[in-house]
Each structure stands twice: as C-alpha cells, then as structure tokens.
Amino acid sequence: MRVTIFGSGYVGLVTGACLADAGNHVICVDVDAAKIERLSRGEVPIHEPGLDALIKRNAEAGRLEFTTDAKKAVEHGLFQLIAVGTPPGEDGSADLRYVLAVAHTIATHLKSYCIVITKSTVPVGTADKVRAELQQTLAARGAKAEFDVVSNPEFLKEGAAISDFMKPDRVVIGTDNPRTTELMRALYEPFTRNHDRLIVMDIRSSELTKYAANAMLATKISFMNELANIAERVGADIEKVRVGIGSDPRIGYSFIYPGTGYGGSCFPKDVQALIRSSHEAGHEPLIMNAVEAVNARQKQVLFHKMQRHFMDGLKGRTVAVWGLAFKPNTDDMREAPAVTLIELLLKAGATVHAYDPVASAEAQRIFAGRAGVTLAKSAYEAAEGADALAIVTEWQEFRSPDFERLKQTLKNPVIFDGRNLYDPAMAARFGLTYYAIGRGRPLLTD
C-alpha cells in the first residue's frame, strides 16, 4: 500500500519503518530539511534498539523514502498519517498547530481520495478540527476531493517500540465510515495475523483511549510511589509489598515498581492535557491532579534523602549520578527525574559527575555551558571521588556492580538508589550506606 507519514520524529520513524518492512511503499515527509538529509544518508536522529537497521534495510529496498516535498508526499499516499508533535502549552493543553498545519498541507495538494489518520496523541475533538481544516482548505481552492478522517493512536513504548508495532497488544481504530475500517484492517493485517487485534470504535472514544491508557499507567506509578513513602515511614519494605499485591491478577506486576517518578514525552504531557480537557468539559479531575502532584514530589525524593544524610549541607560536595534518560534503552531525557535531581543539586552548590550509556549527547545538549556538570565515559569514572552515588535510571549495567570497587572508588561509601536495584543487606555487607525507595530505614555502615 502507499503510505505517507508527516513527521519524522519518534512515532513517525518507527511507524514508517515497520510499515515499509511489511512491504508497503512509505514516504516520510518533514519540514526539517537537515533531518531529512541525515535520514537520507542513513543517520537516525533518535536511539531506539533495532531502528537503524530497519530503516537502512527498507531504504535500500526502495520501500522507505524521506522528503521535504509535501506535494509529492500527498500525491503518493492513500493513507496520510499525521505523526507530528503536540507539545504542551503553558496551561497544559496540547498544542495542535502542527497537526492542523499538516491537515492544511494535505488539503492544499489533495487530488484524489485518501484516509487522513491522526497518530499524534491529541485531545478529544481533534479529528473534527482536522476535518474542518481539510474542508475549509479544499473549499478555498475551489477543489473537490473525497477523504475520511481516522483516529489511530499509537501505543509504543520507548526502548521496545519495534516489537510493540510488529506484535501489538491492540490496534485501536476510531472511524465513522465502515469503508475505512476495512482499509485500516488491510493495512494492519500483517501485524495481526495470529488473531484480530483491531478494536474499532467511534473517533472520540479512540482519542480518549490513548489519554486514558497513559493516565492509568501514570496513576499506577504515582500510587506505588505514594505507598513507598508510607512504607518507609512505618518500617515496611515496599519491595515485599509489591510482590504481595502484584500476585493478585486483578493488580498484576506491571507498572508497580517504586522509583523517582515518571518522565518522558508521553506521561507528563498526556496527564496535563487530560487535566486541561477535563477543565474545559467542566470537570475537576481530582485523581489526575493527585497523580501529577505525587510525581512532581517524587522527583525530589533522592535530593531530600541527601539533604537529611549530609546534615552540614551539599555545598561543595560531589554527587555521582548513574542514569540520565527517563528510562532504559532510550536517550530521551524529556521530563527525566535525573534532570530534576541535577538541577536541585546544582542549586544547592553541589557538583555532579553523571553517566548514561546512551544519553550523553542529549545530556551535553541540555547542560551545555552549565558549570558543575561533568559527563563521564563510564559508571566508575563518574563515581571516582564522589561523596555519594545516586542511581536514577535502571540500566542493565547498573544492576550488578562491583561493590568492593565501588566502595573504594567513592569518597564516602553511600548510595541513594532511586530504582531499588540492590539488596540492602548486600550493600551493607560491603560497607556501603544504602538508601532506597520505600524500604524502611537504611542499613548504615559502622
């Protein structure tokens, strides 16, 4: 099939590469000429396991192209996917200017029937605005061209996006036309062959489904972090509590790991947008308000533990930070808890030595010119001579360190573990003071 994708960011690239790999002819179009030039040379601007090879294979096979030529792209595609950003405004609402700009571009060049698909995460009612923009632009041209608008939200996890697309849990289709349902079913058939995973619904329900999914997962994270804070104060171990409640199939083990809060490009933005949409609908979303408030507080939890430990203050101290990306297997640092921690440490007068396996380039961009932040080439280099170690992202290489070496490397043998990677008793046996999340009082070294 002929597919056009507007937007060559995370969602657009993964979607385009995966659809091309199934044999479709895909054109990805973007207004950023420098990005298109890099992609045409085979340079992928984001870190996602397996994506480089997938793009290279399909570009070489002629199934995947990159262009800035919107006219060519519109004339190419039966399916016109909108996968541009919807950044949050100052009030938390989703900014739809890029989505509507794409709708305007499609209508400017549209000559024959197409299906306009919103992949971007958008508020309820966005499809109506897209349809209106298409109709108005066609009318202004004096042109007539048939089209349908479909909501098809993405459910990709950063770090596992290719697997999520190739073997989806579900494919949600929001449409008001049975014809588009069958065309969308044909587009996704290669990825749903063992059993039909298409869930068809009205457009507004589809738009809300994406926000509801992310808000539910964010709620589980904040709820578990709230429980962890309670456990810490009453002398319980949240890791044992987690196993106890996760064994209940009604709860399950997914997204009940305590930590330093959620980040990334989706959860923070989508929770805020859902709150804003609720306000516009005349409803006060009390649970969503609490989810956001708990998360903001949780991002500061390691800093406050450090303040209590170093009673004479953090000024002049050096803190090693392991993990900068908001989660493993990505270089995405948007809304990352590590950024919050580093900013608090710098404000308190501390120096930071940070390490991340893949996010160093992004960290260099974020902290460029900032005094007090040094990016190390290895975990142990970051820890060299530090007064404390903070673990913020649960990268695999952090899970089983050389504790003896770590004790010798650190100036003060103290760990603030924001991901509960280690057994507190094990850390204590190596002479390390170990602070975790929700695991009672730390076992202190002599």
The token pair at 89 is 């405004």
Task: Please give the C-alpha separations between residue 135 and each of 84, 255, 290, in angstroms, as whole numbers.
Answer: 20, 42, 40
114 is catalytic: no
Q: Which of 348, 226, 362, 241 is nearest to 296 (CA)?
A: 226
Dihedral over alpha carbons 159, 423, 310, 389 (to 10 degrees): -40
Q: Which of 113, 126, 54 is nearest to 86 (CA)?
A: 126
- The catalytic residue among 18, 28, 114, 266 is 266
Return the DSSP state at 443: B
Contact present, 169 and 178 (Cβ < 8 Å): no
Contact present, 264 and 10 (Cβ < 8 Å): no
Q: Which of 406, 244, 203 is nearest to 322 (CA)?
A: 406
Helical segments of 195-246, H only: 203-234, 238-246
What amino acid occupies position 152?
N
Indicate left, alpha or beta for 430 from its phi (over 0: left) and psi (-120 to 50: alpha): alpha
Q: Which of 109, 26, 18, 100 is nearest to 67 (CA)?
A: 26
Contact present, 105 and 70 (Cβ < 8 Å): yes
**Catalytic positions, please?**
266
